Structure 1
Amino acid sequence: MEQTLSTFINEFTAALAKSAPIFIKKLIFLAILWVTYRPVQGFIMKAFNKFLSLKKLDELLIHFLQSFLNILIIIFYALNVIQILGIEMTSILALLGSIGIGIGLALKGSLSDLAGGMQILASRYFTKGDYIITCSVEGTVQRITFLYTVLHTVDNKFVVVPNGKLSGEVIVNAGANAERRVDCVFSVSYDTSIDQVKELLTDIAKNHALILQDKDIFVRLSKHNSSSLDFTMRVWAKKEHYWDVFFDLQELVKKRFDQEGIEIPYNKLDVYCKTTGE
């Protein structure tokens, strides 16, 4: 019994002495990877950001490329860890292939969103700061990630739209140009002078500081409604002033109508009572 135990201890000691240098070497390599990950990542990202700044690319595309490069760095370090641990790459690749098929089937929608994000960035339908209308939502574009696009609505809501759905929808980019047209409709009663209303609305537009005076100011009678005359007013403003001009016009027109005694009609219902003798 003592001889068997002594033999086991000798063999264990010999094996430990043989494998200890290899084990220590692997620990050193792993420690080097651990220590250098953050500095190397920071250096590469800093150099990449400097390169992108020289290219003057779109801010959303820069954010997308930064995320992609960060993933590549993580994959590079992960492959080095696997190699240091002595795990066969063929086995890993076979396992990853099998897992990839399962994940691909399970995350079919996410892959569609990823492809949609690349399509959006490549085609440049819109950029950061643009006001877009799509997928039954509208808002200002804040950023595009791999899988989704973030919008901020006018009432400060945070809206996340999947890129796959966004790339397949009709997109109205209201902020693509520096100027936007503001359309308003104002109703007056039938006994109001058409020329008076046109002069009044034109005067309001010409005296508003945020309305672009070098653009056409359109004021015309557009519809004979059931109980009103409807006037369409179209003016131009800088895109950042769109809502200010829109709401200012609503208030200013109401005040001027009150001053001029112009009636804003409302739906009326005439009730006729028929009496019959008993």
Structure 2
Amino acid sequence: MDNIIQFFQDNNELIFGYLLKFVAAVFIFYVGRIVAKGIKRLMEKALLSRSVDKAVISFVAGIVYALIMIATVLMALSQIGVQTTSFIAILGAAGLAVGLALQGSLSNFASGILIILFRPFKSGDFIDAGGVSGTVDKIEIFQTIMKTPDNKKVIIPNAQITGSAITNYSAEPTRRVDLLIGISYDSDLRKAKALLEDIVKQDSRILATPAPVIAVAALADSSVNIHLRPWVNAADYWAVYWDTLEKVKLTFDEQGIGIPFPQMDLHIKKDTQE
């Protein structure tokens, strides 16, 4: 017992120093865990406000929490004198090996994070992305699930989506219907434009603002081409597109406005001999 007391008396400064380092390490670990939990909660609230899937939120928040805790443990160990350089080197090597092995999956994971954070589209939007056109059914961390207009389920890797142009047809509440109407050169141009104006005015789905455009687009080889460009609500786009084409054909037939088709005139020249 006397030896133990003598040891403490001789090394009280050293023991006190180690005790302070140990307390500091515990404090760092405690504060780091509080910070990790706080950041995790903030991320969950931020992602929930963006209507992100709960499974994705849990996965992303868990990864962030784990990374912060690893950094906290390394800082705490360093405080008590443990050389963490070797640990960092091992973690770096392991991370590099895993990254090379899962390069494609990590690329899809990073792309999924970007889609979730920046939200170029959401579930229910009709988009053209990754070479596929369809309605977004679900956005997952590695892939996006879409349904085509003919009800096919298509699973697209997220890296393929973010690596190409994304066209979101549902992003804006209104869309412009672009129609190119050709009439024959011997038809009455003013009458054709007036008929198109009547067709547009009679359709209640066509918006008054912005005003529809009816203008001559080109004097082509066999037709006078007219641009017909009305604005509609995005949900009415295809219905107005198809109905307007049918209405134009029926109206032009009734009013004697010719719609030309490609044709070739053949001239036969006959030589006469005396």
Q: Same fold (TM over 0.5)?
A: yes
Q: Structure 1: which 5+ residue stretches go unaligned?
A: 1-47, 73-93
Asked whether the 8 Å contact 2:48–2:54 carries over to 1, the reply is no
Asked whether the 8 Å contact 1:198–1:219 carries over to 2, the reply is yes
Percent identity over paired residues: 35
Matches within 5 A, 1:77-92: none
- Map of 1:227 onto structure 2: 222
- Map of 1:258 onto structure 2: 253
- Map of 2:51 onto structure 1: 59
Residue identity matched to 2:269: K
Cα deviation for residue 272 of structure 1 reads 2.1
* Separation of aligned partners in 1, 2:257 and 2:235: 32
Matches within 5 A, 1:198-209: 198-209=193-204
Query: SS of 1:126's equivalent?
Result: coil
Q: 1:244 to 1:66 in 2, by over 3 A?
A: farther
- Map of 2:137 onto structure 1: 142
Residue identity matched to 1:224: L
Residue identity matched to 1:126: F
Cα deviation for residue 56 of structure 1 reads 6.1
- Map of 2:187 onto structure 1: 192
Higher mean alpha-carbon deviation, 128-137 vs 259-268, is at: 128-137
Q: 1:261 to 1:70 in 2, by over 3 A?
A: farther
1:126 aligns to 2:121 (yes or no): yes
1:151 aligns to 2:153 (yes or no): no
- Map of 2:11 onto structure 1: none
- Map of 1:211 onto structure 2: 206
Matches within 5 A, 1:107-122: 107-122=102-117
Asked whether the 8 Å contact 1:141–1:152 carries over to 2, the reply is yes
1:170 aligns to 2:165 (yes or no): yes
* Separation of aligned partners in 1, 2:48 and 2:187: 57
Asked whether the 8 Å contact 1:194–1:221 carries over to 2, the reply is no
Q: Structure 2: which 5+ residue stretches go unaligned?
A: 1-40, 65-88
* Separation of aligned partners in 1, 2:133 and 2:179: 19
What is the TM-score of this pair, normalised by structure 1? 0.66
* Separation of aligned partners in 2, 1:101 and 1:255: 67
* Separation of aligned partners in 1, 2:146 and 2:212: 32
Q: 1:244 to 1:62 in 2, by over 3 A?
A: farther
